[in-house]
Amino acid sequence: MGPDLRLKWIVCIMVGIQFLAFYLVKDLDWKWVLFWTYAFGSCINHSMTLAIHEISHNTAFGNNKATWNRYFAMFANLPIGLPYSASFKRYHLDHHRYLGGDGVDVDIPTEFEGWFFCTRFRKFIWIILQPLFYAIRPLCINPKPISQLEVTNLVCQLTFNFLLYMLWGAKPVVYMMAGSMLGMGLHPISGHFIAEHYMFLKGQETYSYYGSLNLLTFNVGYHNEHHDFPSIPGCRLPMVKKIAAEYYCDLPQYTSWVRVLYDFIMDDTLSPYSRIKRKLKGDVKQE
């Protein structure tokens, strides 16, 4: 356990790459803006959301500098365009404490999602609209009072978006915003949203993926390992699997996130309802 000493430098490089991309796309034709948005911007922006996931566990500066982690997450949030890092932190820790908790874990789809998105075509649309549902779901399932950090996150992000538009025009803003939406929708990397906790096998709640896309996603595919040891940074999760191989190697696992998306859409027994949902008892302490 402890901070990943490389994480802050990797994030700074990724932010710098996106700033360079903003400059380069400002003079391109719109068709090339849209091409590079999906081919490149969506990948790096989705990767950046998973860097923010890492930072939410205080792995950039450690637990004794929690505030540094919160503001660094806002910095990592800038090229994504959508202010979410402060809110993500609050809800994600609830997800770890109360996995599948009814009314608490906003990773669980709503009743409407499970009822409506039940055919192959509708599940395809649901995957495309995943970013929208992840944004709306907390307001429906577990609304929380707005915090000062969330206000700061919002103001910083809107200011950055405005300055980007004033400096280089609309194309970098479209590249940024659309890249985030596309990267978290119908995209190979977004297969991890489905892969992590949807029951492809009855009774198996969490699955890991050990493929090459972990290189772009801070090892979020090592998901059983991550839920067992959320304070261990992603860069060390392969070490956890190696040390405790007898606990992880025989568990059901995925070899392709693209295949996960395909199987979820085509398998008529799977839907947004394919999750374990728990009624929580006792004192529930949320972020």
DSSP annotation string for 150-181: HHHHHHHHHHHHHHHHHHH-HHHHHHHHHHHH
pLDDT digits (tens, 9 = 90+) for 232-261: 999 999 999 999 999 999 999 999 999 999
pTM for the model stands at: 0.91
Token pair for 84? 């979410």
| pLDDT for position 287 | 65
C-alpha separations of 203 from 46, 79, 113, 276 in Å: 29, 39, 21, 8
Q: Produce one character per residue of 62-95: b if its CB has 16 or more CB atoms within 10 Å, e if not.
A: eeeeeeebbbbbbbbbbbbbbbbbbbbbbbbebb
Residue 86 maps to a domain: yes
Residue 276 maps to a domain: no
Average model confidence (pLDDT) across the chain: 92
Residue 243 maps to a domain: yes
* Residue 58 CB coordination number (10 Å): 20
Residues of the chain with pLDDT under 50: none
Residue 187 maps to a domain: yes
Distance CA 36, CA 275 (A): 35
| pLDDT for position 136 | 87
Q: CB of 45 within 8 A of CB of 21?
A: no
Residue 134 maps to a domain: yes
Number of domains observed in the structure of the chain: 1
| pLDDT for position 127 | 94
Residue 272 maps to a domain: no
Residue 277 maps to a domain: no
Which residues, at least 6 apart from 74, have a Cβ–Cβ distance to it below 8 Å?
85, 86, 152, 153, 156, 157
| pLDDT for position 140 | 86
| pLDDT for position 165 | 96
Residue 245 maps to a domain: yes
Domain of residue 178, residue span: 6-266
pLDDT digits (tens, 9 = 90+) for 141-175: 889 899 999 999 999 999 999 999 999 999 999 99
